[in-house]
Amino acid sequence: EAIATYRENFPEVPFVREADMKALEPTILAKAINADHVDLIVGGPPCQGFSMARQRDGANHGDRRFIKDERRELYQEFLRFVDYFQPKVFVIENVLGIKSAEGGKYFTAVQHEARNLGKENGRAGYRVHAQVEQAWELGVPQKRRRQLIIGVRADLPGYFPTTLKAPKRSMPNMMLGAAIMDLPPLKAGAGKEAQDYDLDLRAKAIRDYGTYAEKYLFEVLEVRKAKLLTAHRARSHSERDLGDFKKLKEGQSSADAMRKGVKFDFPYSTKSFKDRYTRQHRAFQCSTIVAHLSKDGLMFIHPTQNRSITPREAARIQSFPDWFKFPVARIHQFRLIGNAVPPLVSEAVGNEVVNFIAEQTMHKRTRMNRTIPQDQ
Cβ atoms of residues 138 and 172 within 8 Å = yes
CB count, 10 Å around CB of 295? 15
Query: Between 26-33 and 75-85, two packed helices, what is the crossing angle to 10 degrees?
Result: 50
Of 360, 349, 358, nearest to 158 by C-alpha is 360
Residue 132 burial class via C-beta count within 10 angstroms: exposed 0-12, middle 13-18, buried 19 and up: exposed
CA 310 to CA 362: how far, in whole Å? 47
| Catalytic residue list contains 286 | no
- Rounded to 5 degrees, what angle do the CA atoms 315, 317, 320 make? 45
How far apart are alpha carbons 191 and 232 in whole angstroms?
Answer: 6
- What 3-state DSSP class applies to 44? coil
Q: Is the distance from CB of 149 to CB of 91 less than 8 angstroms?
A: yes
Pairing state between β 40-43 and 89-94: parallel
**Rounded-to-integer distance, Cα 362 and Cα 367, Å:** 9
Contacts with 225 (C-beta within 8 Å, 6 or more apart), sequence order: 321, 322, 323
Say how far apart CA 278 and CA 251 lie, in whole Å.
7
- Residue 229 bridge partners (DSSP): 195
Active-site option among 38, 47, 181, 293: 47
Q: Which positions are catalytic? A: 47
